[in-house]
Amino acid sequence: MSLYPLKFTPILKERIWGGNLLETKLFKEHASPGIGESWELSAVEGSVSVVANGILKDTSLADLMSTHKSDLLGSSVVRDFGYNFPVLIKFLDAASNLSIQVHPSDELAKERHNSFGKNEMWYVMEASSEASLIVGFKEGMTPEKYKSHIENGTIESVMEKHAVTSGDTFFIETGTVHAIGAGILLAEIQQTSDITYRVYDFNRTDAHGNFRELHTELALDAINFKLNPPEKCNYEVNTNEKNELISSPYFTTKYLPVIGKYQEECLSSDSFKAYLCVKGNGVISNNFGTAEFSYGETILLAANSTFISVESVSGCVLIEVQY
């Protein structure tokens, strides 16, 4: 069966820090105030994406992978992951601060949870004038100092912060203590994992007056105190060209601004390609079909696509994700 450009039904997640931008800005159906995450493309157990368009509508991503194998995923993906999807793609709306947290490495996540680690990338789509991201410790942090700040509730004072605006991009390695600040709408690309160790939650309570669980001891072993704080990614923004954002062992991302038409031949079938629309709207095609897209939508193109075409009269920006 032809693998035309595939769109998926968003999987909406209520979060204590969620706002209403997924409903009012990205027009996610059934979103409501308090929805903090829209999982766009997921193979996480219990939250597997389902096709929303065309003849394959209502087919799960798991069934697509088992049926179409390397035609969908790509030869490199099948080689390294079998018939499993290696990334999780989300949009996040932080009306208030997310917890200060850390994710374990592949090795630690495998040992503790039989899971991948969670290296991730953030692309800021919109941000309020006061918005910032917390990314790593200030210089000189040690396990002993960290434990003292946790006990005293002063961990926020020793974290690096970056004021952010639309287009800012960060790569967050496992072992980096971090948090998304209030007033930010962003796209997150990460390894397929849902393992988070929460170290500080600003002393807030849920609707029932309960504090959320902290993972102080688990986090201590997961933190890499030797990591330098991540810096904002510098990248080109050439129109109708793919501009490299992040190249990592876990995924590669590129920034693709289109005005008019962009087209390329696909010379390799190593990997699928996913496209997140972070500005504007347009039409995307491969040799099997066409799909319209708009701001806040995600499209998956199979590895056996022989060409990719994007058309946008008014202009759009896509983030390309592949392995």
Six-digit token string for 170: 């960060």
- Helix, strand, or coil (residue 190): strand
Q: Are residues 60 and 171 in the same domain?
A: yes
Provide φ and ψ at 272, rounded to 5°: -60, 170
Asked if 246 contacts 168 with a C-beta cutoff of 8 angstroms, the reply is: no
Band the pLDDT of 131: cuts 50, 70, 90: very high
Global pTM reads 0.96
Through-space distance between the first and last CA atoms of the chain, rounded to whole angstroms: 23
Q: pLDDT tens, 265-288?
A: 998 999 999 999 999 999 999 999
Dist. CA 282–CA 84, nearest whole Å: 29
* Position 234 in a domain: no
* Identity of the residue numbered 271: S
Dist. CA 215–CA 203, nearest whole Å: 14
- Helix, strand, or coil (residue 243): strand
User: Is residue 38 classed exposed, middle or buried when 0-12, 13-18 and 19+ CB atoms within 10 A define those classes?
Assistant: buried
Region 222-226: mean pLDDT is 96
- Helix, strand, or coil (residue 198): strand
* Position 291 in a domain: yes
Domain of residue 318 covers: 243-322
Which among 15, 79, 112, 198 is annotated as catalytic?
198
H/E stretch holding 205:
none
Provide φ and ψ at 46, rounded to 5°: 90, -10
Region 50-66: mean pLDDT is 98
Q: Are residues 59 and 11 in the same domain?
A: yes
Dist. CA 275–CA 264, nearest whole Å: 14
DSSP state of 156: G
Q: Are residues 27 and 134 in the same domain?
A: yes
Among 213, 216, 205, smallest CA distance to 177 is for 216
* Position 231 in a domain: no
- How large a percentage of the chain has pLDDT more than 90? 97
* Position 180 in a domain: yes
Q: Are residues 250 and 115 in the same domain?
A: no
Q: Are residues 32 and 87 in the same domain?
A: yes
Domain end among 222, 256, 287: 222
Q: Are residues 206 and 305 in the same domain?
A: no
Dist. CA 187–CA 121, nearest whole Å: 8
Dist. CA 200–CA 156, nearest whole Å: 8
**What pLDDT score was predicted for residue 185?**
98
Q: Are residues 96 and 192 in the same domain?
A: yes
Residues 165, 24, 310, 168: what is their CA dihedral angle, to the nearest 10 degrees?
A: 10
* Position 102 in a domain: yes
Provide φ and ψ at 221, rounded to 5°: -75, -20
**What pLDDT score was predicted for residue 208?**
87
- Is pLDDT at 1 greater than 80 in this prediction? no
- Helix, strand, or coil (residue 24): helix
Q: Are residues 129 and 185 in the same domain?
A: yes
| Mean per-residue pLDDT over the chain, rounded | 97
If you write DSSP's letter for every residue of 242-295 in order, what string do you get? -EEEEE-SS-EEEEEEEEEEEEEE----S--EEEEEEEEEEEEEETTEEEEEET
DSSP state of 20: S
Dist. CA 178–CA 186, nearest whole Å: 15
* Position 185 in a domain: yes
**Count of CB atoms situated within 10 Å of the CB of 305:** 22
- Is pLDDT at 222 greater than 80 in this prediction? yes
- Helix, strand, or coil (residue 55): coil
Q: Are residues 46 and 185 in the same domain?
A: yes
Asked if 9 contacts 58 with a C-beta cutoff of 8 angstroms, the reply is: no
204 annotated active-site: no
CATH number, residue 274: 2.60.120.10
- Is pLDDT at 303 greater than 90 in this prediction? yes
Q: Are residues 207 and 257 in the same domain?
A: no
* Position 233 in a domain: no
* Identity of the residue numbered 38: S
* Position 96 in a domain: yes
H/E stretch holding 199:
strand 197-200
Task: Give the count of domains, the chain.
Answer: 2
